[in-house]
Structure 1
Amino acid sequence: MPLFIAFVIAVIVVAIVARRNAGIRQCRWREDRAGSKGALVKYNCINCGAEAFRSTGKPDRCLSGQPKSGL
């Protein structure tokens, strides 16, 4: 019985850790140096096609559901 309880707890912990960054893992960001504008670096998602400009670091969430600016 204690082994079963330990197994259930382990499954719950793994499920929580797997869901924690689910929104981030949907997009896979790649830097596009040709599209950069001064201090802003352009990033393209190879998974959904979203574009983002950041001054520091890669985007930290999926932007696939947001409308593109300038349209």
Structure 2
Amino acid sequence: MHIVIGLIVAFVLVALLSNRKTRACRWRADRSQDSEQGSYFRCMQCGAEMRTTRGRPPTECLRESRF
């Protein structure tokens, strides 16, 4: 019984604490298009393009703004 309750609590916590903003996006770096403005990333899921200055993939999904 304790195992079942623990699994339910774990499932609820994962559902509540997961980052929903980037769940649908699959950012890929394209180093050939990097410039002084930042690193170039393209989302393979929705086709959004973005540059970041820190060299890491974006943390937000642009899917809603594309359609």
TM-score by length of 1: 0.69
Could you tell me which runs of 5 or more consecutive residues in structure 1 were left unpaired when the two chains were aligned: none
Residue 62 (1) aligns with residue 64 (2): no
Structure 1 runs (4+) deviating above 6 angstroms are none
The aligned amino acid for 1:43 is F
Could you tell me which runs of 5 or more consecutive residues in structure 2 were left unpaired when the two chains were aligned: none
Let me know the Cα RMSD of the aligned residues: 2.0
TM-score by length of 2: 0.72
Q: How many residues align?
A: 64
Q: What does 1:1-71 correspond to in 2, within 5 Å?
A: 3=1, 7-19=4-16, 20-56=18-54, 57-66=56-65
- Could you give the per-residue CA deviations for residues 12-50 of structure 1, whole angstroms, max 9, x where no partner exists? 431331342222221011001122221401100001111
